[in-house]
Homo-oligomer: A and B are copies of this chain.
Amino acid sequence: MVPQRFEIIRGTPLFADVSDESFEILTRGAYIQNFPPNMEMITEGEPADFLHIVENGCVELFCQWSGRESSITTLYHNSTFILAATIKNRPYLMSARTLQKSRVVMIPSEDVRSVFGADPDFAIAIVDELSRCYRATIRNMKNLKLRTSLERLGNYILKLHRRQGNTLTIELPIEKRRLASYLGMTPENLSRGLNSLKAHGVEVQGQQILIEDLEALTKFAKPDYLID
């Protein structure tokens, strides 16, 4: 019955290849929690007692300093966080809050570390996941340092376009103020930025975005496979 409850995460890359024994150890001390929207689940600086996995819903990782706040990334189903803190047994560097009602699996960090040492397949999966997240962060950094806010916005829209099956009508998955923070700009500036992109074939109506001239937008945003 325990395996039953955790069936969903069993299929994710991080756990797909682990042995049944390992999975049993990992889930033995684990539990599942349902969070309401807008709930701060973890706070930066706290010890990383659990590895978290978003089973469904939506979780934002963000950070704060000196009264300011910035959104780092948004996680959806079957995403893990924050693996590095768990592995190194160090405090979280980011806080996490739910954006929607979310179901989250929590595995005690100790169990993760001990199975990591005992099961080579799990170790490989961990390294894979870590590398993936690391590289995603580097891409994010390049995006921030090499592009203007308008270019970041344009490429973000193109990324949504690709993710949502190359449709020209795109739905923003998060609130604009959070998107603004993620892109390193203010909500006001995002609003103006979306208007500026009209000159490059982008039309906006609320959460809907319409790409009227994909070629123009692409020419402006210059997406790059080493960033996006």
Contacts and interface: CB of A to CB of B under 8 A. Distances in A.
A201 interface: no
Contact of A184 (B87, B138, B145, B224): B145
Interface string A60-95: 000111101110100000000001110110110110
Contacts of A31: none
Interface residues of A, number: 48
* Copies of this protein in the complex: 2
Is chain A's binding surface mostly helix, strand, loop or mixed? helix
Most buried by B among A84, A124, A128, A133: A84
Interface of A: 44-45, 63-66, 68-70, 72, 83-85, 87-88, 90-91, 93-94, 116-117, 120, 123-124, 126-128, 130-135, 137-142, 144-147, 184, 222, 224, 226-227
Given A65-B147, A91-B226, A142-B70, A85 B123 contact: no
